[in-house]
Structure 1
Amino acid sequence: MGSRVEVERRSVMDHPPRVRALKRMLGVVADGMDPVVDLWRPYVDGLDNLPADGRVLLVGNHTQMGSAETFLIPYAVRRQLGVRVRPLADRQFAQMRGLPSDLMAAYGGVIGAPETARELMQHDQTVLVFPGGGREIPKFKGEEYTLRWQGRSGFARVAIENGYPIVPVGLVGGDDVYKPLTPRDSAWGRFSQAMSTRFGGRDDMAIPLLRGVGPTLIPRPERMYLRFGVPIDATTPVGVDAGGWAEWVKRHTQRELERILDDLLGLREADPYRGLNPLSWSRAAQPESA
């Protein structure tokens, strides 16, 4: 019997009836989400940078909990282009079974392996990847909106191999829903890393101490700021070493995404509606094209 990744690769474009039924249900839900999303008034710009055919590799940043960007990026693309985004999930999610696994597949998610990414690109799918993976989600104090891409250049190699343009897409707001209380090198951080290593085999999934509204875990009301950057042509120039080019594309994509995050943080700082204060609705920052 093949590994979970092998099974995922074989079924990346073909799902069993139960998953297809969930996919149709999620499609109906997504079609009715516009009024709900508009109520929260997320800031979204750069949609004109998306190729009209949807053939693109979106490269994003993970925020605390990993939920805002996982929902808002596919939602914005679907609303703009009418296409389904296929997120590449951390290999850790390969351990999921039953309904959670079916829901991930129905949503479009696949295990983030080179084989599955290549197959999606061979079918001209819109692909979304977070190179930091699951380790970029748990943020300790001082790590907000930082990218943890050490050694992660596989997305660049796959884009180059398949002639896929890369669009960096940054989200700000998700790291402020909860406030981390301690840095990674604190007593709690060291303890949490030790527990992560003991029970999960890796220390980069340590869990920070967080708080939301006041001393509680109620999420803070925060506006989300999303920007799609200028496409990056991953075509290898004539005479350039393939390995070196992949590393350059990775570094360039990371720099562009970090620049987007810095710009959005500045925009957010000056936005009176950043805390979703209804009294500031009329003065909320708007995209230039709005």
Structure 2
Amino acid sequence: MDHPPRVRALKRVLGAVADGIDPVIDLWRPYIDGLHNLPADGRFLLVGNHTQMGSAEILLIPYAVRREIGVRVRPLADRQFGQIRGLPGDLMAAFGGVVGAPETARELMRHDQTILVFPGGGREIPKFKGEEYTLRWQGRSGFARLAVENGYPIVPVGLVGGDDVYRSLTVRDSAWGRFSQAIGSRLGGRDDMAMPLVRGVGPTLIPRPERMYLRFGAPIDTTTPVGIDSSGWAEEVKRRTQTGLERILDDLLGLRETDPYRGLNPLGWFRAARPEPA
């Protein structure tokens, strides 16, 4: 795609930042494992979970992949976010993000690009109380159909930590939840973008310092078996991906519970849990 000069300039700046950001990431000490599961040729579809922080997984997943196998990840953005204009839209384009339409994904797959998708889309970001680290994929199976159609391996990738930066105070079925859904429906035509009441540090909106835990799962082969209907196989691929990702999230939550340094000042994370050697 031929981007305008301002986007190309931002792309160069982001590239320079990415090349020198290792010390900053290492200082924050995220837990990252499963990198050995990334296909070296870069031809795979990353399928992840959105968290309330939103930006944590969008930044950390491409960073980890680029650092490990040297390829650029192309995130697929929710159509609503893909319509953003001005500087935010330019930044998304410079970062490699594209609108998550089937034709866009097919084009990227034809060029063997590394792609990142969050099937829950923007509706998975606002989490009401009790919805932390749950997937909201109802009716979302397009990623599986495209992967099957193009023989693209799927790598599930889970992030734990982002849903704890802010704590939700309300459940979805509360008076506030219903009111927020009604407002979302009236203003944007989508009641699935309702916003919960949240707090950060104490009663404030200052983000809580939380260590991030990231894991890449084993690739899922999407090649349609002989004699199996492709549409039925796509549903099975979706099920296997969702099950694999939910298992990753459960494992990371368990790992975090046993990490004695997780709740300390970020300076203490240097002694926190580290991935086991592959």
TM-score of the aligned structures, taking structure 2 as reference length: 0.97
For residues 157 and 278 of structure 1, do their structure 2 counterparts lie closer, same or farther at Cα, with a shift above 3 Å needed? Answer: closer
1:75 corresponding residue in structure 2: 63
Query: CA–CA distance in 1 between the matches of 2:82 and 2:223?
Result: 31
Separation (CA, whole Å) in 2 of partners of 1:14 and 1:89: 19
- Kindly indicate whether residue 97 of structure 2 is the aligned counterpart of residue 114 of structure 1: no
Please say if residues 221 and 276 of structure 1, whose CA atoms lie closer than 8 Å, have aligned partners that are also in contact: no
Runs of 4+ in 1 over 3 A off after TM superposition: 278-283
Give the C-alpha shift of residue 87 in structure 1. Answer: 0.2
Q: Is the 8 A contact 1:181 1:208 kept in 2?
A: yes
Equivalent residue for 1:231? 219
Question: For the residues of structure 2 that align with 1:101 and 1:56, how far apart are their CA atoms?
Answer: 25
Q: Is the 8 A contact 2:28 2:266 kept in 1?
A: no
Pairwise CA distance, 1:219: 0.4
In structure 2, the gaps of 5 or more residues are none
Residue 40 of structure 1 aligns to which amino acid in structure 2?
Answer: W
Q: How does 1:135-284 map to 2 (within 5 A)?
A: 135-277=123-265, 280-281=268-269, 283-284=271-272
| Contact kept in structure 2, 1:223 and 1:273, CA below 8 Å | no
Question: Of 42, 46, 57, which aligns to 2:30?
Answer: 42
One-letter code aligned to 2:186: R
Query: Structure 1 unaligned runs (5+)?
Result: 1-12
Q: Which residue of 2 aligns with 1:104?
A: 92
**More displaced, 96-105 or 209-218?**
96-105
Matched-pair contact (CA < 8 Å) for 1:145–1:172? yes
Pick one of 66, 83, 88 that aligns with 2:76: 88
1:183 alignment partner, SS class: coil
Shift of 1:36: 0.6
1:278 deviation in Å? 5.0
1 CA distance for matches of 2:81 and 2:263?
Answer: 32
CA contact (8 A) 1:40 1:276 kept: no
TM-score where L is the length of structure 1: 0.93
SS at structure 2 position matched to 1:221: coil
Tell me how far 1:163 sits from its aligned partner: 1.2
Q: Give SS of 1:127's match.
A: strand
Identity %: 85
CA distance in 2, matches of 1:276, 1:236: 47
Please list the CA deviations of residues 8-29 of structure 1 after superposition, one character each: whole Å capped at 9, or x if unmatched.
Answer: xxxxx33222211111110001
